[in-house]
A = this chain, B = another copy of it.
């Protein structure tokens, strides 16, 4: 099967590529893998891989990417929340228009292709119940969440009409991301664990009692790939899935770091309140009912200590 991954130079995109190359897609082997991003992703030794630099906000880009042989698209490219909030036009172009162009290309060239769209829990916001489920209304309080919610509607309608076999997965905040901080307002949720484990100080812009809905990279990558495998019949009339996650407060995260790595490491976290970030983070959901996603075969992390240990095992000092 020929597969396309956008945002493939990014943290999650490159790992989705690894997973596809190692384990295929369900019972299908990946025979051709196109990895694209605004700058070409690093070349790989694997002869199945082609890398491609493309600005998906250009109207012609999607046409260059999708062809008749395309069996699955993992659309992970996005402008992150902080940047989309700071630059509305840029965010809408990258997060809404680019997704629409990709869906159009799939519709006209390979309408049976699986189209996995990386959405976000940021579609929720404002007034929501203590525990969110599949029937909780979206009410985004960021332009990032707004564009994601708009794309979910498109993905669902394209699926309903047979234009693309779309599936939107709402990603929890991913922690611990390897690498460096980014412009996501939730970047600190990785930074407060990653930097101290690397002997560096890290600033936490929210208060200790702020709760966050979290997933590890390993689990979310497995879940993103699984989204292309789920039987369409099980998805019913709505193609958006809340990926499983777990709820932890910043205080819980710090305690977990202390128990796994010791006091000296945990003491490298410094609290410096940032009202802009704190307000957006406070608008995000903190508890979602995992039962539907687990029934569909998605996975969940056991607890945040396990997430830290997984980072230490796979990513620390790589």
Q: Is A299 an interface residue (CB 8 A)?
A: no
Within 8 A of B (CB), among A46-97: 88
Interface of A is mostly: loop
- Tell me, rounded to whole Å, the shortest Cβ–Cβ distance linking A14 to chain B: 30
A128: B residues at CB distance < 8 A: 135
- Tell me, rounded to whole Å, the shortest Cβ–Cβ distance linking A136 to chain B: 6
Q: Is the CB of A237 within 8 A of B127?
A: yes
Residue with the greatest number of chain B CB neighbours at <10 A, chosen from A126, A139, A154: A139
Q: Is A125 an interface residue (CB 8 A)?
A: yes
Q: How far is the CA of A127 from the CA of B161 in the complex (A)?
A: 18
- Tell me, rounded to whole Å, the shortest Cβ–Cβ distance linking A130 to chain B: 13
Within 8 A of B (CB), among A141-177: 141, 143, 146, 149-150, 153-154, 156-157, 160-161, 163
Q: Is A138 an interface residue (CB 8 A)?
A: yes
Q: Is A7 an interface residue (CB 8 A)?
A: no
Q: How far is the CA of A237 from the CA of B127 in the complex (A)?
A: 7
Q: Is A302 an interface residue (CB 8 A)?
A: no
Q: How many residues of A contact B (CB 8 A)?
A: 28
Q: Is the CB of B238 within 8 A of A127?
A: yes
Among candidates B88, B136, B238, residue contacting A135 with C-beta atoms closer than 8 Å: B136
Q: Is A41 an interface residue (CB 8 A)?
A: no
Among candidates B136, B150, B157, B161, residue contacting A154 with C-beta atoms closer than 8 Å: B150
**Contact flags A103-132 to B (C-beta < 8 A → 1, else 0):** 000000000000000000000011111000
Q: How far is the CA of A138 from the CA of B238 in the complex (A)?
A: 10
Q: How far is the CA of A150 from the CA of B154 in the complex (A)?
A: 8
A163: B residues at CB distance < 8 A: 88
* Given A127-B237, A237-B126, also A146-B140 (CB < 8 A): no
A88: B residues at CB distance < 8 A: 161, 163
A143, closest chain B residue (CB): B157
Q: Is the CB of A137 within 8 A of B138?
A: yes
* Given A88-B161, A150-B150, A150-B154, also A136-B139 (CB < 8 A): no
- Tell me, rounded to whole Å, the shortest Cβ–Cβ distance linking A178 to chain B: 32
26 interchain pairs, CB-CB under 8 A: A88-B163, A126-B236, A126-B238, A127-B135, A127-B236, A127-B237, A128-B135, A129-B135, A134-B137, A135-B136, A136-B137, A137-B138, A138-B138, A139-B156, A139-B237, A139-B238, A140-B153, A140-B157, A141-B160, A141-B237, A143-B157, A143-B161, A146-B153, A146-B154, A146-B156, A150-B153
